[in-house]
Amino acid sequence: MSNHSEKQQAQRHSFWRKRQKKTLSVDDITIVDQQMLKRAVGAAALGNAMEWFDFGVYSFLAVTIGKVFFPGGSPAVQLIATFGAFAAAFLVRPLGGMVFGPLGDRIGRQKVLAFTMIMMAIGTFCIGLIPGYDQIGIAAPLLLLVARLVQGFSTGGEYGGAATFIAEYSTDKRRGFMGSWLEFGTLSGYLLGAILVTGMTALLTQQQLMSWGWRIPFFIAGPLGLFGLYIRLKLEETPAFQKHMEKQEALEHSKPQIGLWEMLSRYRIQMLRCVGLVLVFNVSNYMLTSYMPSYLTSVLGMSELSGLMLVMVVMFIMMPLTLASGYWNDRLGRRPVIMCGAIGLIVLAIPALWLIGSGSMSAIFLGLVILGVLHTCFSGTMPATLPALFTTEVRYSALAIGFNLSVSLFGGTTPLLTSWLVEKTGNVMIPAWYLMGAGVIGVITAFFMRETARKPLHGSAPAVGSEEEAHRLVQKLERQAENLPASQ
């Protein structure tokens, strides 16, 4: 009996070793071309910067846009109406995700990302062409809403596609750091918008800004969009998607595209995790980058120029910290870094808002820096964390839908809800409680997520940076197979 059992164990051990060698040979490992990786990361980050320049400009000019398109109301009412149009764009983002996501999984990531780039630029350029309320009346805010909906629809396919593109191009060991460049691009776009708006605010009179100056950043979106389109059209498809399509073509009967409801059912746990992670990520993002400039101006009475300058300096600080977060989550893990940021929001949101509301310029700056540093725990980690939740065949679709659903419900509505709550309650600490609630959800989600740092993407072969590294990986796995206990 004992000899028979030992024989079975030896057979299982031998089978496992053969299977390990078969499935993880050098030919099966993705060797990433480093030059193509740099181009892919640069193009995705640059395209994202162009897109978020468009969105950022709207946020930074919220007070002026409110006066142009919603005159007659109080400053608070104008701000709420402006952010209402801002939030409306987020309501159509899930529709954009439902359209562009499946397209990205069917025809390729690169083609869809090129299309979203030009669509966003057109929507933004058109905002600069719309006459004000004084010229065409109610048609002005209605046209603004239409342009915002075009922006939101195109953005529904942007972030999920860009994050997927970088994640599938990156090596397993450096996916966090490479992904953090996507958010570096986001901050660059916001910062470019902030610099431009700050310069105009300093150089133009209030009347000039109201009559024609506010249109300049939106007109710039046209050539920027064309440049981003050119860069993205020069890219090749990701190695992971190419291998997936090769497998599909090799089958006699290609597996049909998974349907939306089937995907939501099969990946419901991953979708819930995606929604939770995106919630804490985007609430902290839009609270800082979209709401705070207007909060400093409309609620605290600070001048527009001072508010923009403070937020702009904080974003400068956040840019290298985002890359540092990407570097460290490759080494420490995604979960600890996300957990650190979420707990930080719970503990430090009230002190940060208390500092911001103190009236002292140095205290306001310190409060904004606290929020900015906490946000980098998410911005440097999420571009690598979110794509790893799903397999290659549905990665673009699932991420685009889950990401945009969460953003539309919780992220993009942050400026609108906080503006409305502050106006109704008179409590200037509402943003702190909002951030704390997001932090609680972030902690819960991070606790239940699977660690993915330094591991292959779900359903994909390992990805390394050189053939030598591939050989070392195979040898390492063979040694692990040799040392595997017989019971396995």
- With pLDDT > 70 as the criterion, what percentage of the chain qualifies? 90
Instruction: Assess contact for 395 and 386: CB atoms under 8 A.
Output: no
Read off the pLDDT of residues 73-96 as tens digits, 9 standing for 90 and up: 667 767 677 777 767 777 888 899
What number is the average pLDDT over the span 224-234?
82
pLDDT at 436: 97
User: Using CA atoms, how far apart are residues 162 and 232, in angstroms rounded to an integer?
Assistant: 11
pTM: 0.85
- Which helix (H) or strand (E) segment holds residue 231: the answer is helix 216-233
User: Using CA atoms, how far apart are residues 390 and 457, in angstroms rounded to an integer?
Assistant: 8
Read off the pLDDT of residues 469-485 as tens digits, 9 standing for 90 and up: 888 888 887 777 666 55
Q: Which domains does the chain have, with CATH numbers?
A: 33-245+260-457 (1.20.1250.20)
pLDDT at 488: 44
Contacts of 486 (CB under 8 A, 6+ apart): 6, 9, 10, 12, 13
Instruction: Assess contact for 448 and 273: CB atoms under 8 A.
Output: yes
Read off the pLDDT of residues 396-429 as tens digits, 9 standing for 90 and up: 999 999 999 898 888 777 877 888 888 888 888 9
Question: Residue 7 pLDDT > 60, yes or no?
Answer: no
User: Using CA atoms, how far apart are residues 182 and 49, in angstroms rounded to an integer?
Assistant: 8
User: Using CA atoms, how far apart are residues 44 and 184, in angstroms rounded to an integer?
Assistant: 11
Burial pattern 183-205, b for ≥16 Cβ within 10 A else e, equals: bbbbbbbbbbbbebbbebbeebe
User: Using CA atoms, how far apart are residues 440 and 435, in angstroms rounded to an integer?
Assistant: 9
- Long-range CB contact pairs, 297-305, < 8 A, 24+: 297/63, 298/63, 298/75, 298/76, 298/79, 298/419, 299/422, 299/428, 300/356, 300/357, 300/359, 300/364, 300/428, 302/364, 304/63, 304/201, 305/198, 305/201, 305/202
pLDDT at 74: 64
Tokens representing 176 are 């966090």
Query: If we measure between CA atoms, which residue out of 249, 238, 243 comes closest to residue 109?
Result: 238
Query: If we measure between CA atoms, which residue out of 360, 219, 233, 366 comes closest to residue 302?
Result: 360
pLDDT at 255: 56
Instruction: Assess contact for 337 and 381: CB atoms under 8 A.
Output: yes
User: Using CA atoms, how far apart are residues 274 and 389, in angstroms rounded to an integer?
Assistant: 8
Q: Please, what is the average pLDDT of the chain? A: 85
CA dist list (Å): 224 to 157, 200, 221:
18, 19, 5
